[in-house]
Amino acid sequence: MSSTTSMDEVVNILCKLSILHCKVLFEEAERFEEWLKEKVIKDKDPISTFLDIWEFIDEEKKLVQDSEVIPDSYKV
């Protein structure tokens, strides 16, 4: 995660939490589920959400790295 954290990143991290984590952070899992509903988040499965997000982040990192590499033919 970058030094500047967007609300989407925070929401994505919170989506990764298990029910036990929710109870620790929010005291009641129901409060967490209500919070998710307010944010219009439908996928509350922490494992699949986690995997989807990390897959997306890895793909973005690869794209950035690929764009930073300048082929020798373009070098002056």
pLDDT confidence tier of residue 1, bands split at 50, 70 and 90: very low
What residue spans define the domains of the chain? 7-70
Residue-averaged pLDDT of the chain: 66
d(Cα 16, Cα 6) in Å, to the nearest integer?
16
Taking residue 35's Cβ as centre, other Cβ atoms within 10 Å add up to 14
Average pLDDT over residues 16-28: 69
Closest CA to 23 of 13, 15, 31: 31
pTM for this model (two decimals): 0.29
